[in-house]
Structure formats: C-alpha cells, structure tokens
C-alpha cells in the first residue's frame, strides 16, 4: 500500500510571513490537491495539479502559490500569513478518474 | 444556492440506532464520495459512487444523479462511527475536483 505524507504536522507562523507546506505521495497518482478546512465550512479547494508541472486554481487560490515539480510531490505556499489565522490544510491525491481519493493527515496552521 | 447541501449538520444517536445523512446537489454531478473524518483529522474514504447503491458492513450509500442527491445510512450505530462525515461531489468537468458539503458531526449519546 501507499502513503501520503504532509509536513509539517503543525506550523506556527507570524503575520506577514511566507510559509510553505509540503505533500508527498507514493501511489503514483496523477492528480494532487490542496484543500483548506475551517471550522464549520467543510473543505475548500485551493490548488490542484493533474500532472507534473501543471497547476490549476481552485476556489480559494488568492493568497497562495503552489508547485508540482515532481509527480510525487505538491507544495503549497501561504504568501503572507494573516494574523490570527487558524486552519487545517489537507493534501490529497487521486488517479485520473478521481475514484481513488486519498488524503494526508493535515497541517495545522496557527498565525500569531 | 450552495452546490452541495449536506444535512443534518449534527447527529446524535444511541448505540444500536439507525440513521441517515443526505446531500442535495444544485446541479447534475458525475460522482459522489463519502468520507469520515476521525478525531485525529484524517479523512477516510467510505464510498465512491458513479450511480446506484453500495454497502459496506453497517454503512450503505445511494447516489441518484438524475434526482441530484446522495444518502449515507448508518445502521446499528457504534462508538467507532463517531466523527464528521462529508459528502463530496464531482461535477464532471474532467478535473476530478470535488465540492464538499459542510459535514455532519456524528456522536453517540452515552
């Protein structure tokens, strides 16, 4: 079986700081995603990538950058952390048909 | 309205009881997935449906694309069923991107 790993698990940043979250998968999945989860709001798509070097904006891309330099990894950058921001960022991957969706365990962000 | 409307927002059951969750879609969806998020925050896939009904143990899910809804039934509720359940649907644009419902927080009444 494969695994999808997010690092770090916890991230504390300062207002205005640029913060990078990483995600690695060894399923050989084509598509990778970054979602943001806020309390009571479900998951919202930030960016996704259907193959190496591809990048597609989701519903919440403003304030974020992403990079898919290799098929197995997808990183997300918070370009300028907002004070008192608190959310969980979830990475996922799937095969091209979308039926084999697997999530990582999340990165919990707190901005002080 | 919201593309994916999930109800109820919260659900409390006695051990052994049965209940159901429902998601309504504002447009025709290609497929639906149901996830359970445990207390550690990890999302586990329960079902993927392009149509029809699937069962797995005490869980059963139905997806009716034409009528624009999906349901998840929990039978004989147990402590391990606790957590938050999400439905997520794909609109069929070819991107595999999912739109999530807001979740149903499920707990067992002691």
Alpha helices in chain B (DSSP H): none
Residue A83 has pLDDT above 80, yes or no: yes
Query: What pLDDT is attached to residue A97?
Result: 66
Q: Which of A33-47, B17-31, B49-63 bottoms out in mean pLDDT, i.e. has the lowest?
A: A33-47
pLDDT tens by residue, B13-50: 999 999 999 999 999 999 999 999 988 888 999 999 99
Tokens of A25: 């998968």
Of A40, A88, A90, the CB nearest to B102: A40
Q: From the CB of residue A79, how many other CB atoms can be counted at a distance below 10 Å?
A: 12
- Structural domain total, chain A: 1
Query: What pLDDT is attached to residue A16?
Result: 94
Considering only CB atoms, which chain A residues are within 8 Å of B90?
98
Considering only CB atoms, which chain A residues are within 8 Å of B97?
33, 45, 48, 56, 58
Considering only CB atoms, which chain A residues are within 8 Å of B45?
101-102
Q: How far apart are CA B27 and CA B99, in angstroms?
A: 12
CATH number of the domain that A65 lies in?
A: 2.60.40.10
Chain A residue with minimal CA distance to B87? A42
Between B93 and A89, the more confident residue is A89
Contact B98 A31 (CB under 8 A): no
Tokens of A105: 């365990």
Query: What pLDDT is attached to residue A41?
Result: 73
Query: What pLDDT is attached to residue A85?
Result: 81
Which range of residues forms the domain containing residue A78? 4-111
Query: What pLDDT is attached to residue B21?
Result: 97
Query: What pLDDT is attached to residue A24?
Result: 98
Give chain B's mean pLDDT.
92
Using alpha carbons only, what angle is made at residue B42 by residues B41 and B44, rounded to the nearest 5 degrees?
135
Judge: domain B4-109, CATH 3.40.50.10800: no
Query: What pLDDT is attached to residue B78?
Result: 95
Tracing tokens 């806020």 back to the chain, one arrives at A38
Is the minimum CB–CB distance between A45 and chain B shorter than 8 Å? yes
Q: From the CB of residue B30, how many other CB atoms can be counted at a distance below 10 Å?
A: 15
Query: What pLDDT is attached to residue A39?
Result: 80
Q: From the CB of residue A67, how many other CB atoms can be counted at a distance below 10 Å?
A: 16
- The stretch B94-101 carries a mean pLDDT of 81
Query: What pLDDT is attached to residue B83?
Result: 94
Confidence class for position B95, pLDDT limits 50, 70, 90: low
Domain boundaries, chain B: 4-109
- Paired with A32 in beta bridges are A49, A93
Chain A residue with minimal CA distance to B34? A101
Give chain A's mean pLDDT.
92
């Amino acid at each position: 079986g494969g695994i999808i790993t997010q690092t770090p698990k916890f991230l504390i940043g300062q207002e205005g700081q640029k913060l990078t979250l990483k995600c690695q998968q060894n399923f050989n999945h084509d598509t990778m995603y970054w979602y943001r989860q806020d309390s009571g709001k479900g998951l919202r798509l930030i960016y996704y990538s259907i193959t190496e070097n591809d990048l597609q904006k989701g519903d919440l891309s403003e304030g974020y950058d992403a990079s898919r330099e290799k098929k197995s990894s997808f990183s997300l950058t918070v370009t300028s952390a907002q004070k008192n921001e608190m959310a969980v960022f979830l990475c996922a991957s799937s095969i091209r048909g979308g039926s084999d969706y697997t999530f990582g365990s999340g990165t919990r962000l707190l901005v002080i | 309205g919201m593309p994916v409307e999930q109800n109820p927002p919260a659900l409390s059951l006695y051990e052994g009881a049965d209940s159901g969750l429902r998601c309504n879609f504002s447009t025709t969806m290609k497929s639906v997935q149901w996830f359970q998020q445990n207390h550690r925050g990890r999302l586990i896939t329960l079902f993927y449906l392009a149509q029809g009904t699937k069962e797995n143990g005490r869980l059963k899910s139905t997806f009716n694309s034409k009528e624009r809804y999906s349901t998840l039934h929990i039978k004989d509720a147990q402590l391990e069923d606790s957590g938050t359940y999400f439905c997520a649907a794909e609109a069929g644009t070819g991107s595999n991107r999912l739109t999530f419902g807001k979740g149903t927080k499920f707990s067992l009444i002691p």
